[in-house]
Each structure stands twice: as C-alpha cells, then as structure tokens.
Structure 1
Amino acid sequence: MNPDSLLQVQFDRAVGFLKKGEFDFSIQSFENAILTINKGGLSDKNLIYRTYVNFGVLLNRVGDRKRAIEFYNEAEIFTIAEYSQNSNKLIPIYINKGNIYNDYEDLIKAENYYKKSLSLIDIVNGSKWESQLYHNLGVIYYKKKLYSEALTYLLKTLNIKTKQKTGNTSTTRNIIANCYKKLGNYEEADSYYQKSISEVKEINGFHFYLLGDYYLNYAVFQDQIGNSDKVLSYLNLAYDVYVKNFGGKHPDTAHCLKNFGDYYSKRNDHLNALKYYQKALIAETDNFNNSTVYINPSMDELDPQLSILEILKPKANTLQELYSKTNSIPDLDYSLQTYDLCLDIIDNIRIAYQDEESKFALSKNEKDTYTEAIEIAVELYQLTKDVKYKEKAFRYAERSKSASLLSSLNDVNAKNFGGISIELQEQERDLKLNIAKYREFVHDEKRKQTPNRDSISGWQNVLFNLNEEYNQMVLNFEEDYPEYYSLKYDTKTITIEDLQSRLDDNDVLIEYSISDSALFSFIISKSSFELERQKIVKDTFDYHLEEVRNCLKTNDFSNNSADYYKRYTRSAYQLYQYLLSGKDSLLSGKNLLIVPDDKMAYIPFGVLLTKEADSTTMNYRNLEYLIKENTITYHNSATLGFKNHSTSYGVFSSKSVLAFAPSYEGVNDSILFTERSYRDKLYPLPGVKEEVNNISNVIHGDLFVDDLATEANFKANASNYDVLHLAMHTIIDDENPMYSKLVFTQNSDTIEDGLLNTHEIYNMNFNARMVVLSACNTGDGKLLKGEGVMSLARGFFYAGCPSVIMTLWTVEDKTGSNLMSNFYTFLSQGLHKDDALRQAKLEYLKTADSLKSHPYFWSGYVTLGDVDPLYDDSLVNKLMYFAFGSVGIIFLLLFRKKLRRKSVA
C-alpha cells in the first residue's frame, strides 16, 4: 500500500473512532497516522493538513491541550509552507488555537487568533466560519465581563445561523442566557436556557456532551434565582452526561463536581463541600487519586491552569470556614497549604503568559487570593506564635506586588545568564521593537477622528505574524537553553534573613498589604521583624488618601482657605496614625524604606503629619512633617529592591550625567502634534535650562538643550552615561499606560517622532545607576491591582535602571529647578539618594514663603529603588583633603620662596 493510501486508511479509522466517542482508539489511530507523515513520501497535502487539525481537535476534547497546541503549530507551519500566510485553511487552526487559549483564560491571545481568522475570511470573501468567530468573540467579551458587548456578537451569530438554517444554535443560545443572567434579565435568561436544552436534545439526543454544559449552567441559574429544589437535579443530569462522554477524569467532569461543592458550601455544609472539591481535584488531574480532603496534589501532579485554581480556592475558603466552626488549628493550616498551592499555580500561569496585558489581568483577578492567604497566615501566627507563619505572610505580601515586573526582569536576567547568545538577544529585542512599533501605529490610528480601517487591518496582520514569530522564538529558547528555562521560572522572593543581611543598621523597611477590613504592616530592620494587623474600614482609609492627594496635586491656590488647610492636616495626621503611629521606638531617626500597597503609592509619606496641627493658624512651613524626622524611599517590592542590590560606587567623569532640556517653542504641527490635546499641554518650560546648567556646575556631564534635546540623540547616547536627567514634559495615558510619553524637542529631520513611549523604554537597555525624571507626573499613572502604578518610571526599571527619582504630580518649574540643584549638590557630597533629596526639600522649606511652603511645591519628587550614594563620601573627603592639602603645600612653598628672597636681599 502506498503512503497516501495508508494515511487515508489511518485517518478514516481515527475519525470513525472519534465520531463514536471511542477516544483512546482514535488517539492511537491518529498517532499511527503521524508516524506515516513523519516517514515522508506523501503527495496528498490536504490529507496531511486534515490529519494535523483533527488530531488537535481530538486532543483538546480529551483535555490534552498542550499536545493539541503542538499539533496545531505543526498544522500552521505546514499550511503556510504549502499554501500561503493568507490561506483560508489557516482559519480552523487559528480558531482552535484561540479556543485553547480561551480555555487557559489567556483572553488576549485568544482574541488575537479569532480576529486574525476574521481577517482571513475577508480576504477569501467567505462566511463559512463567520458565525463561529462571532460566537467565540462573544465568549471572550463575556469572560471579560463586558456582557453587553458579548450579547452584540452572540446575537449576530444567532441571526446568521437562523437565516442560513445551518448549524446548531444551542451553544450560542446558552451563552446568551448567561449574559442575560449577568445583566439581571432573568426572564430572557430562562427562555434561552430552555431553548438551548430543547434544541440539543432534539438534534443530538439526550446524552450529547454539550448537554452537560447546558444542564450545569441552568443549575447555577436556578440557584441564583432561589429555586434550590431544582439545583441538585440539574447538577446530577450534567454529571451523568459528562461521565458518559468523557469519563471520571476530565476538566468538564471536574468543573461539574466543583459546582456540587459550591452548592454545599453555600449552605454551610462544609464537609460535603470539601468532599466534592476533592473529587473535582481528582477528576482534573491524571495521577492524583487521594480522596482525603486534607491532601492536595503536588505541582508535579497537575497542569497549572485557572481551572485548577477555581477548585482549590473554594476548597481553601471552605477549610477556613470549617475552622471558624471547629476552632481546629489544623483546619486553618490545611487552608493555608491549599492557598500556598494556589499561589504556586498563579506564578506558573503568569510565566506562561507572554503578553503583558494577560499578566496584568491575572494580577488583578488574583490579588484577593494573595490577600486571603495573608489573612490566614497572620491569624495562624497570632494563634501559635510560630514565626514561620509570620514569614509566610511576608512572602505572600511580596508575591502580590509587581509580580509581572518581577517576572519580566527574571526573563531579562535569564537571557543574560542562560547561555543565549548576544546575537539571539538582539534578534529578540528587534522583534519586540517591531511589535511595539506596529502596536503604536494601530493605537495612534484608532485615536484619530476618522481612522483608516485598511491601515489598521494591515498593521494588525503584520502584528499577528510578528507575535507568532516571537512566540516561536520563546519556545525555542526554553527548549534549547535549559539554564534560561530554569532562571526564567525562578519565582522565589527575598527571604527575611536575606533582606536583613542587606539592610543597613539605620534602615527600617515597612511593607504594607491592605484588604477591605485590615491593614497589615511588616516592619523589618537589621535585627528585628514585627508584624502588625489593624482593623480598618477601607472606604474611610481611602477617603483620607484621596483628601491628601487632592490637596497635594492642586496648583490652584485661589481657594487655599482655612477649611482646605484643615482638611489636609486632619487627613495627613489620620494617615500617619494608620500607617506609622505606635512605632516610634522602631522608627525614630531611621531611614524608612516603604513598600506601599494599593492607593498608598499615590502619596509621598514625607507629608504625613506626626502631630496634630493647630487648625486656627494656617502655616504650612511649620507643620510636623514626617520628612523632618526620617529619610524616605520607596520600592515596588522588597525583592525588586534588594534581590540584585548593588553597592558599587562611581567616580566623577566627563560622562557622569546626561541631561536633556527640550524646547517647546512653536511646536511643529506638521509632525505629530496634530492632536490639539497634545499641543495644548506643551507650554514652554523656561526653568529647565537653568536646572540642567546648575546640575552641570555640580556634577560634570553633557547637556542636550533646545534643538539638541531630541529623541534620536537620547536613544543614541543614553546607554553611555551613569546618570540620566530628563527635564521635560510628559503626556500620561491612563487608559493605555504603555503609551504614556516623554516629550523631546520636535525635529522634522529625523525618523523619530519626538515622543518616547513607555513601551519603547521597555525595549531599551540602560547602564545608568540613576535616572531622574524631572518631568510632570512621571510616577503617576493607572493603578492596577497586584501590579501597582503603571508609570513611566516602571519602564526605566525594566530597562535596567535600579534607581529612579520621579514626580507624583505636575511639578512647578522654578521650584523643581531649585530642588534639583540642591539634590545634586548633596549627592556630590556623598549622601545617599534618599537623604540627598530629603536635605534638598528641608533646605527649600527653610527659605520658602507661606505660599511656596505648601507641599505641592516641594514634596512631589520621590526616590524609587536603590538609594546607595553615587559617590563614596570617603572618596569625596579624600579628594577634599587632597585639594586643601595641595593648596596648603602651594602656599607653604610660596611663603618659603618669599622668605628666601628676603634673606637674599
């Protein structure tokens, strides 16, 4: 039998088994077919294509998604090579890959595959897959909780299928029902649920696998509307369908068992709930079969994905609730062990995501999981006084902060030390720059009043292909460089012991973690580790934060009344009570290293008041600011601040500082600033030239001022300097933080647009030990749960700068120049960066009048990251002694020479 005939027989046999639901035999037949393909000598391209695609479909159906992706990748490579990049044969491949990433909850990647498929449909003028793609996009938007948008796509799908009288509409109707349920339209929801169940029974029979989904969704709906008597019956119907089609070990079976657990948990039947959660874990994993509810699968026994999390999290919560009834500490400890496993799974999922948006979404969605783990660890510490629980609570707090940034920096570190050649790293960087460039093209075009849809579509196609190339490159790195893989997947956070070994004697690090009802403070010095938990009402806490922030950000002092002063001083003192009061013996005169949580990142702690103010007299200068007692710096997390802590010192050199001060006179409308919203923000900054000139008088460096302060000059020179100082405008994009911009001088003679976006900074490589972003709002931005503030400063950390001086609001031009001059003067004397900034602020306050002593003028600059001196004070002192000594010697020689002349005379 020739190879093509053999493959046809194997393919037909595999599909036959698949249709009958005999999945094991089908897999065996497909594997035989793949062996035939690998031997070569085949001429039937379409049969090879169908074999790859159908095997992927089967593997996905039985829950082996990793292998399914492998075969879809093989199908994609084969199709592009044998047909073209625009072949309609790619559509089912991309749809199925999208479905798998949809299952993995990597919604950004899934959406990209679906939209790419839609673009291919347009190219071939076909509509065969159109309704399915609208359905899939509806599912994506449903998962994003955009229920109205989801309904738009789903109803469009239903309309197409109804008109064409082709295809089963039951799945679409069932998701529509879910949308109506979420939107509170229970009558429509009930109608669509019943129609979907009736249709699939009529067309496919009473045991068709999709019926399990419909019964399950209807059971959840019945529970929500209060029909408790119907819930278990529909859950049992769903379970029977799943087991008949997939057996006891399958994700759908596991999901059904999890819902049994939810049913009993809602009714406080904790033991039954735990029993079903354990059954769900067994069903979700291949090699775990332990029915004891106090045992969890190990990481080696499970495939880390969100479906496992959705079982483990309610199990952990139920164990916690069981403890509240039994007061059995082991129940609470088992709850913590289960949360521990949840956090390990989250770490693994995050690393697998290659798109930043997916990582951010994961951090946001799982922030509460970290908070709940902290709550339990703290409670166990208070119950047992066992220090291991205190250390665990700190570790959880660390893992909950800037996790995506740490993951990205681990990836950068892995490339540098994992054996990947410089050439390959350059290729990867070029690829990421191209991806960023085309994303910017799409982003900017969409902002226009009449965007060019053809241009957007073309760029999105280029983007899709670039992302595919990048994904394949990352897979190759992981397969070909084991050391890279090991370093990339290292999710360890800094330990208390390691942190204490890196703190100076006068340092105290305070890390905060906040929930809706509690504020946790981890207070760590060289020789002590304290943990405090205080009950709060978060809305009240946030109110005081907003009051202080609103006062600090204002630059309209026409209404600076006694009432305004009273509001500020009351909230600034109240926040001190929340955050630092009662710790005087630990904190007096210390260097405070603050790791904020949530909205705390928006305010400088230096403006908190250590004593109540006299509200009868308005005097900002004489208020008891915290900065008068402590130096203060900030870290995204202790791990990011100290894991790669550097203590190296620089020396004065002609290339010590690179400073930029652009001009905004007559901004060129013909370049980029066609948007009035941009042009109106770019008023002249007369103080910036004075600022950089003053700096150059203190520390030698190179200045790029006015026409020389271009984006092109910055990119060409930035990697060669020890300190970068950027005194310029910024444009903050809260909706799309990666498109916030530093604004350089416009120059029509360059290919650069004069706007350095955050995503461009991410793809640069700096060697500077400090960057000073002396521009407006460089530390401000959108707050993402679990990640912190998405500011321009974050980009510089990613690009290799360990220390950033940034601003939290729009700084006043003249004051900023004054502060920065003093800051560099104190730096040159060997002070730590945080102390130099503190001294500059205190120096300013000494001479400021009653208006200019308002915190708006002087407190906006803060230090983030490493605070080591740029110049060793001992080296500075030696240079001074040498200078004074040299002068003394010269005078002595001149004096002796003069005496000698007198004696000769």
Structure 2
Amino acid sequence: MTFSLRTCIVLNLLSILLCVSATPVFQGNFRNVDALIEVADSLFIFEDYTRAENVYKQVLTMIGQTPNTPEYLHTLNRVARSAIEGNNLSTARNNLESADQFWQNQEELNLQRAETLKEWGIYYSRLKDYGLAQDYFNKCLELIDNCCPGGGEIIGNIYLDIGDFLLYQDDTQSEKLANQAVKNLLNSSGIKRLQLAAGYNLLGAAVRARGETELRNNYISAALAILNQFSTRPFSLSRDIFYNLGVQYIDGNEFAKAEKTFSSIINLIESKNGSARSQLPVYYALKGISLEAMHDPQASIILLQVEKHLLEQPQINHGHLGYVYQGLGRHYGHNRQSDSARFYFNRAIEQYLVDSNTHQLSELYQDQSRMELASNNLENALEKIDTALLLIDYNGEELFDQSKLIDINIDDFFNPLELKGRILRQLFEMTENEKYLFESLAIYQHIEQIAEFTRNGPYSEGTKILVSEHFYRSAEGALQTLTNLNNRSPLPEYISTAFSFMEHNRYAELVHDLSQARSFVTKGLKDSISDQNLYFTSTIQKLQMQLDNASANESILITDSLFKIRNDYNVFRNQLASDFPGEFLVRYDSMISLAQIQSRLEPDLQLFEYFWGDSDLFLVTFTRDSAILASIPIASVELSLSRLLSWMDDYLVPDSLLLSYSDFAQLANSMYNSLVAPYLLDKNQLLILADGPLAFFPFEVMITDTVPDSHFKNAPYLLKQHEIRYSYSANWLYKMRQGYALKRPHILAMSYTATHEENKFISSARQQDYKDLPFSAQEVEAIANRMKDADVTKLTGTQATKKRFLELAPNYDLIHLAVHGIGDTANALNSHLIFKNADSLESRLFAYELYDLDLKARLAILSACETGVGKAYKGEGVFSIARGFAYANIPSIVMSLWKANDQATFQIMDYFYEYLNQGVSVSKAIQMAKLEYLEVTDPHGTKPFFWAGFVPMGDISPVIEPKNKVFSVILLISALIIMITLIRYRLS
C-alpha cells in the first residue's frame, strides 16, 4: 500500500503532535523539536501556510525557555515567513521585530540574523516598498559574505528568495544567487529537494534573459525531473516550472507543446480558489499566443476574452494588456487582415509605452515589420525595423557598442538585423536599385562581425551556441545578396566575402558541436579553458574602456596593465594552441581569407565549397588564380540526390540489386551537370567541402557522360578523371597540423573478429547486430603483409577492446579500426564505434569522447560502418565519428558514408595499403584502390554501394616516404664506378 506525500506528512504530523502532548514543555529534548520543524517545513513547502505557522508556533512554545538559540531565532523567522505567505502581515511584522530584539549582536546567531533580514526584505516587497526591500536584501547578503562562508540549507534558501526577487530586475545577479542556491541545496533530501527544483527553475528563468537557450533548457529539465519524483506537488512551484517550460517551447517554435503546457497550468489554477485565480488571464494570453502562432482561429477568441478581463480589473496591468494586443496583431497579420493587425499593434505600443518596456517595444516593431513585409509593403517594413533597431541603440554608422553587447540578449541584435537585410534585398528585387544590395550587404557584414566578436570575446558557452544557431540564417541572406551583386558586376571581393560567410558558418557550427561534446567530457579539456579565456578577454575589454575615459596620469598605469595582461593572454593562447589545437582553432583562432587559402592550394587542385540553403545551393569554387561564385536551385538536385543516397544505402536488400544502370546513370549525370561540370577549371584534383545532405554523397560516383552501352563496371565515373578528397572546412584544413611522410610508421590495427571465415558476398555489413566480421581479421593481416617496413601492432577479437585502444592510440602514427560503427543522424554525439564485447557499454567509443583525446597519428582509417555519418547541419556539414578523430588532432582520415560490406571493404583496403606503401597521397591511394577493385571484381560487386563509401578527409599528402627507385639505381651505379676505379688503381 502506498501513500501520497501529503498523506505521509499529515500522518507524521499527527504522530509527532501526540508525542509532543505527552512531553513536558521543554526538557532539552531537541529530537521532537527537530521532527516538528521538519513537519512545519513540509507544510510550508506544500503552501499550507496557516498550519505551517501554527506548527512553528508550537515549536516556539517547546523551546520558549531558551530563546537566544539558533533554533529559536530560525523558527521565529519561519513563523514570520509563513504569516507573510498567508497574507497575515501584522503577525509577520510582530515576529520579525521580536527576532530583531533576540539577536542582540550575537555572532553565533549571524546566520539566523541574515535570515531575518531576508524576511524583512520579503515583507517590504509584499508591501510594494521595493527600495526598502532591496536595502534589507543587501544587508542580508553582506552579512552572509562576512559571517557564513560554509553555506548550507538556510543560506541556500536565502539565495533562492533574493534571487527570485531580483529576477527581471537584475538577471545577472539573480543568476549568480540562483547558482549559489543550487550549490547549497544539492545535498537536500526528501521533500526539500523541491527547493532544489526551485533553484534550477530560477536558473532557467535567469539565463533566458541573456539568450542561454541550451543552458536554460538543461536547468528547466533538471527542475522538472525533480518535480516528477513527487506524486503530490506544490502548486506555485508546479505553475512556475510549467510556465518556464511553456516559454521554452515558444522560444523553440514548438507551439503545440506550448499550448498544451499552458492549458495544463490553466487547469491547475482553475482547481484553486482565491487569489491564485487572478493569474488566469496571463496564462490564457500565453495559450492564445501559442494558438496564434499555429494560425488557430481560436486564438483571437481567447485573446479578446483576456482583453475584456484585464480591462475590468481595478488596476490595469499594461504589460499583460500590451502582450494580448501584440498577440492579436500577430493573429490578424498572419490572416492578411493588415488594418486590424495595425490597429492592435498600435494599441500594444500604447500599453508598452506606459511601462517604458523598450525590449518588448523592439519585438513589437519587428512583428509589425514582418507583417508589412508579408503584405509586400516594403517601405513600411523598413521603417518599422529601423525603429526596432533604434530602440536597442543601433544606429548603423558604427558596428556596435561592445560593452552594451555583453549585457544584452543576442536575439536583440540578430533578429532585427537579419530581418532588415532581408527587407533591403527584397527592395532591390522590386526596384532594381543596387543601393539596397549594398545596404543589405553592410547589415550582413555587421552580423558577421558580431558573430566573430562573440566567438573570440568574453561570452559564455550558451551565448556562443546561440550565435551559432542564428548565424546560418544570416549567412544564407548574405550569400543571396552577394550572388545578386556578383551577377550584376563580378568582383573578386564579392566571392571573397561569400567564402568568408561560408567559413564563418562552418566554424559557428563547430563551436556548437564542441560545446555539446564538452558537456559530456569529464577529463582533459576542462571548463577552466573557457574560464581563463573569459578572464583575459573581459579584463582586456574593461581596461580598454577605462583607457578611453582616463586622464593622462591614469593612462600610463592602465596602458602598463594592458601590456601585461595582453602578454599573459598571448602566452595562454600559445599554450592552448600547443596542448589542444582543435580547441584553439575552433574557439579562439582568427579566420584566414580566400586569398590566403588560394596561395596555399596545390597547383593542380580546385576547391568546391557548398552551402545548402532553404531554396538555393550556393557554391564558391576556386584554384590558385581563379574563383567562381554561383547559386544552384536546390530543386534541381534534391530529388536526384535523395534517390541516389537511398538507392546506394539500400543495397543490403537483395531486391534492390535489380535496379538498372540506366536509372543510376541518369541520376548521377544530372548531379554532375548541376554541381560540378559548369564550374570545372581543368584541374586533376578536386577538394570537396560538402554541406547538408551533400555531405553524405561521394562525388566519385557522378557520371560524366551517359554512354548508352555502359554498365557499372566500365561507367565514366568522375573517379576515373579526378582525384577527389574532402574536408570539413577550408580554414580547418589549412590551419590544423599538417601531415608528414613516415619512413617506418608505427601502426595500430584492430579488428572486431579474430579469424577469417568465408562468407557470402553481401553478408556481414559492419553494423548489423554486432556479428563477427569475417574479413576484418584478414584485413588486419593484409596490412602487415603490405607494410613490410612498418611496425604493426595487431589486436583482434577479444584483444580489440575500447580500453586497449584508449591506452595505445596516442603512441601510434597510423590507426586502422576494422570494427562496427553506428552513425546517428538524430543525435550526432551518439555516433560511436563498437569494439569487442558489444553487449557492454564500455565497448562503445562515442564521438564526444574523441574530443578529449590528443593523438599524434598521421592517418586514421575508420574501416567501419557510417564513420562519416552523423547529424547534418545546414551550412556546415556532418558531425560524425570521423570529425571526432579530426578534432583529436589527426590530419588525415579515411571514413565511410554508409554500411560497409565486409568483403568489399577488405579488398579495397588491401589495394589501398599497396598504393599507400608506394608513397602516393591518401586520396591517390583511395582512387587507385577503387579503380583496381572495379577492374578485378565481377560485375555483381561493381555497384557503387560496394566501393564508393570510403572517402579521404583532410590532409591527403603521402603518409609513407616514396620508394625512390631512380635514386637507388644511381647509388648502385655510383658504387660500381667506385669499385672499378679502386680495382684499376690497385692493378696500376
């Protein structure tokens, strides 16, 4: 039999009260006092304030003969607080005045004195004397700083209450106090864990104000997880957590979930009586806003009802009323009823002006601008968005006030700037006036500078993630503007700027991935790296701001301090670049330009960088001395790409082997003609930086000509004309550790299976059900046979464990893993390799774990399934196991794009090592291995599924020193000449 929590509390209360009634008033027995305080605390947490107050008074009676004790003063404070929450303010004041008298400057009571000061602050806040309330809170915090460094539950609740008071007034201070509250309440047990839930919920609300989306979501999830542990839940805490959850859904555009959440709150409130019901209009308004976002006709009905209710109140809440009018304006705007929309937007402006709510006003003008844009009233749209920008002090003349940017929600800049860029671009399309394109480009360049400043500046992880999420949309707008400009007047700077936006977007997503991975990592890359960088950048910025306003004498001291801190910062950056090159490159290093990368290109190389937008695919392609910017309609490639990817990946299904070559050739040739052929510049080597779903596609399978009599074996693949390689980013490729050739490499080769067994050709994909891989052991043996000059460590079967890999990998020049692999396209960080003992989680090497490694290997061959498969990000590519190895400082990687066939993989890898050992580049070795495979394999195995999945990524220069036969012959001839000369000399 089980009881609800409230039932248990009541039963416990009854038993203790019976016990108390049989006990003398006070005999030094604090066991019953402690138990009774526990019951009172429980009643207080569950908002039964009248009964809580009575039980606290019973406690005071029990310990009344010794009032000057911590227990007595704490209980007196609790009586006062219960009275405050029960709206019995006169009783509260009497008890707080008594607490003031009992304290009498006794140091041992300082903690309880701090609690009294806090309760005075709560008392005056209920009287709406916020200035006096703030004074008491300040005194409380000052006393805690001086007297109570140890922390504990009482201090945790003090921080929680003051942080809650400061929310929306001083969110930064509120967040700091909420953090302290959580730290002090972490060890709470039983129902007091609900106070910890309140701490997490407050943290979530506080960080939202500065745009910490992911961090906010984590905190709210933690609060909800604790709340869900209880069958009976406090009303106010449940309401507040669900409110934050609903706002989270609105911010994430999950309006159906938001509407459901606010409906739950409404049901919760309607089950109550009294003052709680006065909050109903707020939640009905939020429900209406959620319905409006889904274009539900019920939205206007609900919002108009809320308007009527608010106007009937004796004291109008202008903020709530403005929010309702703004929702109605959005509703009518979405329904193309522009006059009604303007009417309600104007009424919302009137309400927000009463409270001087500039943030909400800016959002409102953005809503108006979007409505005018949708109605094609572009001049009106531009006027409204300029007003929104003026409200956040953006004047367009200079980039931005960096000190302001630190304290502001990044949304306040990104959203209106991106919208203005879009309006200006559409004005050009309507008028053909080129000035709008230049103005649009200037806006997007401001956005890019903000993003770069944020990436390198004194910002938290959450802010950097938020910027990465925003930047993609802005990058696409910038590329559309630049393509328009370049089509009218081709200029190198347009192409260079387009390339910069593409690369910035890739880096923004790398920061996002790195931050996600960091949250899983428990060693190596500590948060202290970010903390140190934040210290240096913020200190430098503060000193620079002081210098701008300093006198002549002060300038000398500040300049000296700046010199010292900048020198220390350079030392830190150099050390970071040495110890954690991936961390340094993604987070703190500057970008290099198109011209710089062009100067580093090999003479026979052409680079293709793609950006997958919403409607267009953008391309920047260049050689050392030429560059092209183009846009390609996604519709021209999307269907062919989708059919090819599903077709190649479905070859494990025997029926799919019946698909004809002609169907494949038509699709693959269409891809070639759309993505490559019009832009080729007569180079042998192609470097592909793919994006979106293109990142899953091997360009080698493109068909350059539809020859009628061709078939899979002799098809005119792009592979036969070009040596093809890939990279995540041009900056990443040319700034990461460069490869070098090895004379006698140390190779770590691991195979999932210990012995080779013959099997059918199509069986044993390196993923399915973690079965043995019959050819993986043979693959490892072949490496040793091909690489005669190398030191090869072979681990097979039960020797090939994750633990052994982590122990040995840092010591090897070349790593070959013939194991199972899983690429997760939903959650990138779940992508993983599977070593032996697959039933154990310890056998799985997840992508995020690789971020914590620093490997010296020159090359990693990931001969497993889907090592290049992960979550596709528009504008950036694919996060995968392979990228994890790249981040771990390995410059060259061979990865797979789909479920690899075991026997075909063995054959291709055997040929690959044969050519690699001759000293050719990684991409050349892959190309020659695939061509030889096509040459010797029967027609059944020449379909792209079997051979096209493995591709080279990153630096592809030779890994093995070339075997210079000419030099050897010269040495031999020279030795013979010397011998003949010596013989003649002796004979003479």
Shorter-chain TM-score range: 0.7 to 0.9
> Which amino acid is the alignment partner of residue 603 of structure 2?
D
Match of 1:97 among 200, 203, 206: 203
* Structure 1 residue aligned with 2:660: 564
Match of 2:328 among 197, 218, 222: 218
On the 8 A contact 1:604/1:859 being kept in 2, the answer is yes
Q: TM-score, normalised by structure 1?
A: 0.80
Cα gap change, 1:335 to 1:390, in 2 (>3 Å): same
* Structure 1 residue aligned with 2:740: 648
Match of 1:140 among 248, 251, 254: 248
Cα gap change, 1:66 to 1:338, in 2 (>3 Å): farther
> Which amino acid is the alignment partner of residue 258 of structure 1?
Q
Match of 1:697 among 780, 785, 790: 785
Q: TM-score, normalised by structure 2?
A: 0.74
* Structure 1 residue aligned with 2:239: 131
Partner-residue secondary structure (3-state), 1:582? helix
Partner-residue secondary structure (3-state), 1:712? helix
On the 8 A contact 1:520/1:531 being kept in 2, the answer is no
* Structure 1 residue aligned with 2:856: 767
> Which amino acid is the alignment partner of residue 315 of structure 2?
G
* Structure 2 residue aligned with 1:801: 890
**Partners in 1 of 2:151 and 2:615 — Cα distance?**
66
Cα gap change, 1:150 to 1:257, in 2 (>3 Å): closer
Q: Does 2:739 correspond to 1:634? A: no
> Which amino acid is the alignment partner of residue 682 of structure 2?
L
> Which amino acid is the alignment partner of residue 502 of structure 1?
R
On the 8 A contact 2:857/2:890 being kept in 1, the answer is yes
**Partners in 2 of 1:177 and 1:65 — Cα distance?**
27
**Partners in 2 of 1:802 and 1:271 — Cα distance?**
51
Cα gap change, 1:724 to 1:47, in 2 (>3 Å): closer
On the 8 A contact 2:632/2:674 being kept in 1, the answer is no
On the 8 A contact 1:553/1:809 being kept in 2, the answer is yes
On the 8 A contact 1:305/1:349 being kept in 2, the answer is no
Partner-residue secondary structure (3-state), 1:521? strand
Match of 1:850 among 932, 939, 948: 939
**Partners in 1 of 2:207 and 2:838 — Cα distance?**
43
Partner-residue secondary structure (3-state), 2:860? strand
Offset of residue 575 of structure 1:
1.1
Summarize deviations over 1:339-396 as a string: whole Å, max 9, x none: 22333445566785647xx988875665332111111122223334442222111111
On the 8 A contact 2:295/2:331 being kept in 1, the answer is no
Match of 1:193 among 297, 303, 314: 303
Match of 2:630 among 510, 516, 533: 533
Q: Does 2:807 correspond to 1:719? A: no
**Partners in 2 of 1:719 and 1:561 — Cα distance?**
42
Q: Does 2:610 correspond to 1:512? A: yes
Match of 1:230 among 325, 340, 344: 340
On the 8 A contact 1:370/1:400 being kept in 2, the answer is yes
Offset of residue 225 of structure 1:
2.9
RMSD: 4.1
* Structure 2 residue aligned with 1:478: 534
Offset of residue 836 of structure 1:
1.0
**Partners in 2 of 1:145 and 1:78 — Cα distance?**
34
On the 8 A contact 1:181/1:221 being kept in 2, the answer is yes
**Structure 2 residues without counterparts, runs of 5 or longer:** 1-103, 537-567, 577-583, 757-764
**Partners in 1 of 2:472 and 2:151 — Cα distance?**
52
Match of 2:682 among 575, 578, 587: 587
On the 8 A contact 1:377/1:389 being kept in 2, the answer is yes
Offset of residue 277 of structure 1:
2.1
Summarize deviations over 1:434-465 as a string: whole Å, max 9, x none: 599xxxxxxxxxxxxxxxxxxxxxxxxxxxxx
**Partners in 2 of 1:741 and 1:231 — Cα distance?**
51
Q: Does 2:296 correspond to 1:177? A: no
On the 8 A contact 1:218/1:234 being kept in 2, the answer is yes
**Partners in 1 of 2:129 and 2:600 — Cα distance?**
61
**Partners in 1 of 2:656 and 2:766 — Cα distance?**
29
On the 8 A contact 2:486/2:629 being kept in 1, the answer is no
**Partners in 2 of 1:123 and 1:471 — Cα distance?**
30
Q: Does 2:899 correspond to 1:810? A: yes
Offset of residue 594 of structure 1:
0.7
* Structure 2 residue aligned with 1:497: 595
* Structure 1 residue aligned with 2:41: none
> Which amino acid is the alignment partner of residue 319 of structure 2?
Y
* Structure 1 residue aligned with 2:697: 603
Partner-residue secondary structure (3-state), 1:61? coil
Q: 1:73-84 maps to which residues of 2 (within 5 A)? A: 73-77=179-183
**Partners in 2 of 1:67 and 1:20 — Cα distance?**
20
**Structure 1 residues without counterparts, runs of 5 or longer:** 413-427, 437-468, 667-676
Q: 1:674-693 maps to which residues of 2 (within 5 A)? A: 681-693=769-781
> Which amino acid is the alignment partner of residue 725 of structure 1?
H
**Partners in 2 of 1:771 and 1:877 — Cα distance?**
25
Cα gap change, 1:631 to 1:78, in 2 (>3 Å): same
Match of 1:367 among 472, 475, 483: 472
Cα gap change, 1:406 to 1:842, in 2 (>3 Å): farther
Offset of residue 816 of structure 1:
1.5
* Structure 1 residue aligned with 2:90: none
* Structure 1 residue aligned with 2:671: 575
> Which amino acid is the alignment partner of residue 93 of structure 1?
G
Q: 1:145-544 maps to which residues of 2 (within 5 A)? A: 145-165=253-273, 166=276, 168-187=279-298, 189-203=299-313, 205-245=315-355, 247=356, 250-284=358-392, 288=393, 290=395, 297-302=400-405, 303=408, 305-346=410-451, 354=461, 366-401=471-506, 403-405=508-510, 432-434=520-522, 474-475=530-531, 478-479=534-535, 482=569, 490=588, 492-528=590-626, 530-536=627-633, 538-544=634-640
Cα gap change, 1:211 to 1:19, in 2 (>3 Å): farther
Summarize deviations over 1:302-347 as a string: whole Å, max 9, x none: 3351232221111111222233344443332221121223334455
Match of 2:959 among 861, 866, 870: 870
**Partners in 2 of 1:113 and 1:698 — Cα distance?**
54
Cα gap change, 1:684 to 1:890, in 2 (>3 Å): farther
Question: Aligned pairs, how many?
Answer: 814
Cα gap change, 1:697 to 1:888, in 2 (>3 Å): farther
On the 8 A contact 1:363/1:786 being kept in 2, the answer is no
Offset of residue 98 of structure 1:
0.6
Offset of residue 60 of structure 1:
4.3
> Which amino acid is the alignment partner of residue 329 of structure 1?
E
> Which amino acid is the alignment partner of residue 499 of structure 1?
I
**Partners in 1 of 2:125 and 2:969 — Cα distance?**
90
**Partners in 2 of 1:350 and 1:573 — Cα distance?**
41
Cα gap change, 1:44 to 1:194, in 2 (>3 Å): farther
Offset of residue 846 of structure 1:
2.3
**Partners in 1 of 2:949 and 2:151 — Cα distance?**
69
On the 8 A contact 2:868/2:895 being kept in 1, the answer is yes
On the 8 A contact 1:403/1:786 being kept in 2, the answer is no
On the 8 A contact 2:802/2:845 being kept in 1, the answer is yes
* Structure 2 residue aligned with 1:758: 847
* Structure 1 residue aligned with 2:549: none
Match of 2:872 among 758, 765, 783: 783
Partner-residue secondary structure (3-state), 2:688? strand
Q: 1:734-749 maps to which residues of 2 (within 5 A)? A: 734-746=825-837
Cα gap change, 1:39 to 1:565, in 2 (>3 Å): same
* Structure 2 residue aligned with 1:820: 909
On the 8 A contact 2:755/2:777 being kept in 1, the answer is no
> Which amino acid is the alignment partner of residue 265 of structure 2?
T
Partner-residue secondary structure (3-state), 1:370? helix
On the 8 A contact 1:664/1:683 being kept in 2, the answer is no
Partner-residue secondary structure (3-state), 1:786? coil
Offset of residue 542 of structure 1:
0.8
Partner-residue secondary structure (3-state), 2:749? strand
Summarize deviations over 1:42-72 as a string: whole Å, max 9, x none: 999999767755654565424x543432343
> Which amino acid is the alignment partner of residue 826 of structure 2?
E
Offset of residue 689 of structure 1:
1.3
Cα gap change, 1:753 to 1:32, in 2 (>3 Å): closer
